[in-house]
Amino acid sequence: MRENRMGIGLLIIRLVVGLLFIGHGSQKLFGLFGGYGLQGTGGFFESIGLSPGTVMAFVAGAGELVGGILLVLGFVTPIASAMISIIMVGAIAKVHAPAGLWADQGGMEYPLVLIATVVGIAFIGSGKYSLDHHYFKKNAKGDI
């Protein structure tokens, strides 16, 4: 029973966070969901000192998209966590840290929560309802 509840809880977290990252990556890469696409995001990246902007936008967008897909599927979750965390550390360093901690000031609160969430999942395991559990199960929790 506990394994089922934990698996459902981890599935919910993975779905919400993973789908949001898929959305963010799609904004950067394709201009979906109100995003600016590669050219617009690349221009912003150039303005904050990330060059070449379009290449950096592609790397960030692809990392968010692929990391989000992997997280949703619960497949190679530690790799998904690393991809997402690296992008969020970059966002903190280049955008959020100068604004302080709190999100209402544009600070790093939200990216820190996202990093804690995906790293926590990487350590706990992606749960019973994941491809990691199906393909790599070492124990009943689905840790890989």
Tens digit of each residue's pLDDT (9 = 90 or more) over 43-84: 999 999 999 999 999 999 999 999 999 999 999 999 999 999
Residue 140 has pLDDT above 60, yes or no: no
pLDDT at position 138, please?
Answer: 58
Q: How many CB atoms lie within 10 A of CB 141?
A: 17
- Model pTM score: 0.92
Greatest Cα pair distance, the chain, in angstroms, is 52
pLDDT band for position 143 (cuts 50, 70, 90): very low
Q: How many CB atoms lie within 10 A of CB 132?
A: 23
Rounded average pLDDT over 21-39: 98
Rounded average pLDDT over 102-115: 97
What is the SS3 string spanning the chain? Answer: CHHHHHHHHHHHHHHHHHHHHHHHHHHHHHCCCCCCHHHHHHHHHHHCCCCCHHHHHHHHHHHHHHHHHHHHHCCCHHHHHHHHHHHHHHHHHHHHHHHCCCHHHCCCHHHHHHHHHHHHHHHHCCCCCCHHHHHHCCCCCCCC
Contact in structure between 74 and 130 (CB atoms under 8 Å)? yes
Residue 142 has pLDDT above 90, yes or no: no
